[in-house]
Amino acid sequence: MGNFIPRKMFFTKGVGRHHEKLESFEAALRDAGIQHCNIVKVSSIFPPGCEIISKEVGLSLLKAGEITFMVISRNTANEPNRLVAASVGFAQPKDSAAYGYLSEHHSFGETDEKAGDRAEDMAASMLASTLGVDFNVDTSWDEKEELFKLSGKFVKTSNSTQSAVCDKDGKWTTVVAAAVFIINEANDTKQ
């Protein structure tokens, strides 16, 4: 069967609204450009040596019906005017031979910025514990970020976040954020 170690990864996000909950999810996937994939949710490891590519390039490498592995965050509600958010955080170590972390966070009442910071903080915290960077979990994100930079062990942290205000008439609103892995080398010929 071989190894399923992703060579490339891209971030995407989307929002969908519909009278039916499932169809709002489908609309969010369509907005994110990944509706044609058979999604397999995976946990939080960013593989060593994996290249981050643009959404446009990543989408061009996917084929309809393909089994597609991703770290995906999803949130849904139909309460009028409720703020929903979904975010994927990312933390990459300086050593490209080491693995990084991805995290999923979904919430109510948080803006893109706040939900994104929380997801990014979780990914960075998981990576920090793996790398032996000691910090107080109750410190602010800015203080942790400074400690990470001073440790010299982090290359970057980031997030991909989608929030939306639920439809005022009670339609289901779904938000998704995903880190999509590209595994199949045969698809790489389009670059």
Q: How confident is the model at residue 190 (pLDDT cuts 50, 70, 90)?
A: very low
pLDDT, tens digit, 9 for 90 and up, residues 54-95: 999 999 999 999 999 999 999 999 999 999 999 999 999 888
Asked whether residue 191 carries a pLDDT value surpassing 50, the answer given is: no
Please name the residues in contact with 177: beta carbons below 8 A apart, sequence gap of 6 or more.
Answer: 11, 12, 13, 72, 73, 86, 87, 88, 104, 159, 160, 161, 162
Asked whether residue 138 carries a pLDDT value surpassing 70, the answer given is: no
Report DSSP state, residue 133: -
φ/ψ of 131, rounded to 5, equals: -85, -5
In the chain, what percentage of residues exceed pLDDT 90?
Answer: 70
**Nearest C-alpha neighbor of 105 from the set 175, 26, 23:** 175
In the chain, what percentage of residues exceed pLDDT 70?
Answer: 84
User: How confident is the prediction for the chain on average, in pLDDT?
Assistant: 89
pLDDT, tens digit, 9 for 90 and up, residues 157-172: 899 999 999 989 989 9
Q: How confident is the model at residue 47 (pLDDT cuts 50, 70, 90)?
A: very high
Asked whether residue 128 carries a pLDDT value surpassing 90, the answer given is: no
Please give the residue that has the higher pLDDT: either 152 or 83: 83
Residue in the structure block whose two tokens are 């062990």: 153
What is the rounded CA–CA span in Å between residue 77 and residue 4? 34
Q: How confident is the model at residue 189 (pLDDT cuts 50, 70, 90)?
A: very low
Residue in the structure block whose two tokens are 């989307």: 14
51: left (phi over 0), alpha (psi -120 to 50) or beta: beta
Q: What's at 101, amino acid-wise?
A: Y
What is the rounded CA–CA span in Å between residue 48 and residue 54? 18
For the segment 138-165, the average pLDDT, to the nearest whole number, is 76
